[in-house]
């Protein structure tokens, strides 16, 4: 059995039942086989055994009182995975499906993603099984305050800097920031995705979606293709989907379908983005409301069937394992030639195999969606300088970062003997090398 396989087996045994974490670790470790052949000193230093074990895992009770006066208890998490190249950095997810295994998969992915950005940020992730759906604004605030009343002692501008993820956007970041400031009596850059009036960065809201499209546009260029004139399907209708849709439209694509967990909308004329933003950012309503304004559009009540809509480019931007082998085969059969992951691990391993086997240009999440965290790091830089860049300045930096991630991933694949279009192994290897070298330099810690 290979060294890599034995570390993988051990990690699976040691973290029983955490299927998403196993999936994420397996995908990265399998890509690294040729690295260990060429660089055996990493093995001697136990880099792989250390990298799969979080530096620290924090779980805590989050008590709060709902609008009817009833006491509610949720579970909070923060996994501080790896700080070899910078303070822990990664989002907070509020969703009823959240458990330790999901936070660990996300935190593990974040190590390599953050490394790929070229910025000094380590990997971490957190969240809660709190379900924001149907909660009043007051309940959201109460929950966020209680969550931060424990989290504050574990984070810091040079220690760990959380941000948003599913269920956590500008509103939640604001409530958590206010509570941190109140407890610590200190105005510091301890969260990113902050509002523009209190230390946020321009472009952070748009960054993940824009970055995804910048990454894919650069990748498409290598094949003589582009978003211009392409038909695009984007799953989800949250932060990442909305701004991926916006940038794809700006580049001349027609986005014909978006979704939420209740179903998907097909609009043959192209999605009305202003309406989508109002529905999801202001009214916080369900996607089926779209057809009230646009009766020609169709609502289908199964979100997974969005991949049946024929398209040139698919951008899964909702959640993990939302695109399986069958969906991948359908996309390929319908002529889809590029898939860019805005979400974290949205394609199952079987789906990824289908894409690679059929020459579909595939941008894996840890590379393609790194624009969000990259812009978070730009927010940290601006906070440290007590200065802010213009929209155009941040956007230009984001675009450069995404182009570099594409190029570095593609050349790492080539350097280690894979096809230069295999961005899965390329991103894993390129992300890993910097972290491994930093760990080597810092001794056994
Ligand atoms: P949002 O909460 O803004 O939106 C999430 C969207 O995905 C919603 O439309 C939601 O539908 C849908 N969704 C969530 N869970 C499920 C599910 N189990 N089944 C079907 N649909 C689901 O989150 P984001 O847009 O921020 O995040 C989307 C993805 O992008 C996640 O994988 C996240 O980890 C990843 N990501 C986010 C970054 C960021 O900066 N925000 C950065 C990099 C990656 P509904 O409203 O019905 O739940
Ligand atoms: O998955 C991710 O990269 C994020 N949710 C963004 C993390 C961040 O710190 O901006």
Give the count of beta carbons closer than 10 Å to the beta carbon of residue 443: 7
Q: Is 292's pLDDT higher than 90? A: yes
**Ligand that lies nearest to the alpha carbon of residue 189, given by its number in the listed order:** 2
Residues 230-246 pLDDT 10s: 999 999 999 999 999 99
Is residue 131 exposed (0-12), middle (13-18) or buried (19+ Cβ within 10 Å)? middle
Residue ranges, comma separated, of all CATH 3.40.50.720 domains in the chain are 207-359
| Structure confidence at residue 70 (pLDDT) | 98
Separation CA 395–CA 386 (nearest Å) = 19
**Ligand that lies nearest to the alpha carbon of residue 319, given by its number in the listed order:** 1
The sheet that has 361-363: what strands, in order across it? 298-300, 263-266, 254-260, 231-234, 313-315, 338-340, 361-363
264 contact partners, CB below 8 Å, separation of at least 6: 235, 257, 258, 287, 299, 300, 302, 303, 305, 306, 309
pLDDT confidence band for 337 (50 / 70 / 90): very high
247-281 burial: b if 16+ Cβ within 10 Å, else e: bbbebebbbbbbbbeebbbbbeeebbbeebbebbe
Choose which residue among 318, 343, 376 to substitute to test ligand 1 binding: the one with the highest number of ligand atoms within 8 A of its C-beta.
Answer: 318
Residues classed as catalytic: 125
Q: Is 63's pLDDT higher than 90? A: yes
| Structure confidence at residue 324 (pLDDT) | 98
Q: Taking CB atoms and a 6 Å cutoff, what residues make up the pocket around ligand 2?
A: 89-91, 113, 163, 165, 192, 344, 372-373, 376
Give the HSE-up count for residue 296: Cα atoms under 13 Å, Cβ half-sphere.
7
pLDDT confidence band for 1 (50 / 70 / 90): confident
403 contact partners, CB below 8 Å, separation of at least 6: 214, 215, 218
Q: pTM of this prediction?
A: 0.98
Ligand 2 atom 4: residue of nearest CA: 91
| The CATH fold of domain 45-186 | Rossmann fold (3.40.50)
Residues 374-389 pLDDT 10s: 999 999 999 999 999 9
Distance 165 CA to ligand 1 centre (A): 7
| Structure confidence at residue 424 (pLDDT) | 98
Residue range 210-230: average pLDDT? 98
Token pair, residue 418, equals 């894979």
350 contact partners, CB below 8 Å, separation of at least 6: 324, 325, 328
Q: Which atom of ligand 1 is nearest to the CA of 93?
A: 34
Residue range 163-188: average pLDDT? 98
Choose which residue among 134, 207, 238 to substitute to test ligand 1 binding: the one with the highest number of ligand atoms within 8 A of its C-beta.
Answer: 238
Q: Which residues pair with 88 in a beta bridge?
A: 122, 160
Q: Is 323's pLDDT higher than 90? A: yes
Whether the CB of 248 sits within 6 Å of ligand 1: no
Whether the CB of 166 sits within 6 Å of ligand 1: yes
Average pLDDT, the chain: 98
Residue range 295-310: average pLDDT? 98
Distance 417 CA to ligand 1 centre (A): 35
Percent of the chain whose pLDDT exceeds 90? 100
- Written in H, E and C, the secondary structure of the chain is CCHHHHHHHHHHHHCCCCHHHHHHHHHHHHHCHHHHHHCCHHHHCCHHHHHCCCCEEEEEEEEEECCCCCEEEEEEEEEEEECCCCCEEEEEEECCCCCHHHHHHHHHHHHHHHHHCCCCCEEEEEEECCCCCCCCHHHHHHHHHHHHHHHHHHCECCCEEEECECCECHHHHHHHHHHHHHHHCCCCCCCCCCCHHHCCCCCHHHHHHHHHHHHHHHHHHCCCCCCCCCEEEECCCCHHHHHHHHHHHHCCCEEEEEEECCEEEECCCCCCHHHHHHHHHHHCCCHHHHHHHCCCCEEECCHHHHHHCCCCEEECCCCCCCECHHHHHHHHHCCCCEEECCCCCCECHHHHHHHHHCCCEEECHHHHCCHHHHHHHHHHHHHHHCCCCCHHHHHHHHHHHHHHHHHHHHHHHHHCCCCCCCHHHHHHHHHHHHHHHHHHHCCCC
Separation CA 104–CA 366 (nearest Å) = 14
Residue ranges, comma separated, of all CATH 3.40.50.10860 domains in the chain are 45-186
Residue with tokens 């691990």: 345
Residue range 219-231: average pLDDT? 97
| Structure confidence at residue 366 (pLDDT) | 98
Choose which residue among 87, 160, 165 to substitute to test ligand 2 binding: the one with the highest number of ligand atoms within 8 A of its C-beta.
Answer: 165
Q: Which of 197, 147, 196 is nearest to 175 (CA)?
A: 147
Give the CATH H-level superfamily of domain 207-359. NAD(P)-binding Rossmann-like Domain (3.40.50.720)
pLDDT confidence band for 263 (50 / 70 / 90): very high
Distance 3 CA to ligand 2 centre (A): 31
**Ligand that lies nearest to the alpha carbon of residue 116, given by its number in the listed order:** 2
pLDDT confidence band for 314 (50 / 70 / 90): very high
| Structure confidence at residue 115 (pLDDT) | 99
Residue range 277-284: average pLDDT? 97
């Amino acid at each position: 059995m290979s060294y890599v396989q034995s570390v993988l087996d051990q990690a699976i045994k040691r973290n029983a039942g955490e299927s998403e974490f196993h999936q994420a670790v397996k995908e990265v470790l399998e890509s690294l086989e040729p690295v260990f052949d060429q660089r055996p000193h990493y093995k001697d230093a136990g880099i792989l055994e250390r990298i799969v074990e979080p530096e620290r895992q924090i779980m805590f009770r989050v008590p709060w009182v709902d609008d009817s006066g009833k006491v509610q208890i949720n579970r909070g998490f923060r996994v501080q995975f790896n700080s070899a190249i910078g303070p822990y950095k990664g989002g907070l997810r509020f969703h009823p499906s959240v458990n330790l295994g999901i936070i660990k998969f996300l935190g593990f992915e974040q190590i390599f993603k953050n490394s790929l950005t070229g910025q000094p940020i380590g990997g971490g992730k957190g969240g809660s099984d709190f379900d924001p759906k149907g909660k009043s604004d007051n309940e959201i605030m109460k929950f966020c305050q209680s969550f931060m009343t424990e989290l504050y002692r574990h984070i810091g501008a040079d220690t760990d800097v959380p941000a948003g993820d599913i269920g956590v956007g500008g509103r939640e970041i604001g409530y958590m920031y206010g509570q941190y400031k109140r407890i610590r009596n200190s105005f510091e850059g301890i969260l990113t995705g902050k509002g523009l009036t209190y230390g946020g960065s321009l472009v952070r809201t748009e960054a993940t979606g824009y970055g995804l499209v910048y990454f894919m546009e650069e990748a498409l260029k290598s094949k003589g293709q582009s978003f211009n004139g392409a038909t695009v399907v984007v799953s989800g209708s949250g932060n990442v989907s909305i701004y991926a849709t916006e940038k794809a439209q700006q580049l001349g694509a027609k986005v014909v379908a978006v979704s939420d967990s209740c179903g998907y909308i097909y609009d043959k004329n192209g999605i009305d983005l202003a309406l989508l933003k109002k529905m999801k950012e202001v009214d916080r309503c369900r996607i089926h409301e779209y057809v009230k304004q646009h009766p020609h559009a169709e609502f289908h009540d199964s979100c997974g069937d969005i991949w049946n809509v024929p398209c040139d480019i698919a951008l899964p931007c909702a959640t993990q394992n939302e695109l399986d082998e069958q969906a991948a085969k359908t996309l390929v059969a319908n002529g889809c030639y590029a898939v860019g992951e805005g979400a974290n691990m949205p394609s199952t391993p079987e789906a990824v195999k289908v894409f690679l086997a059929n020459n579909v240009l595939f941008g894996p999440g840890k590379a393609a969606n790194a624009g969000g965290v990259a812009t978070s790091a730009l927010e940290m830089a601006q906070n440290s300088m007590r200065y802010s860049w213009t929209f155009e300045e941040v956007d230009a930096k984001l675009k450069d970062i995404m182009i570099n991630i594409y190029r570095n991933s593609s050349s790492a694949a080539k350097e280690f003997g894979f096809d230069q279009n295999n961005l899965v192994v390329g991103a894993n290897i390129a992300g890993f090398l910097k972290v491994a070298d930093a760990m080597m330099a810092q001794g056994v810690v």
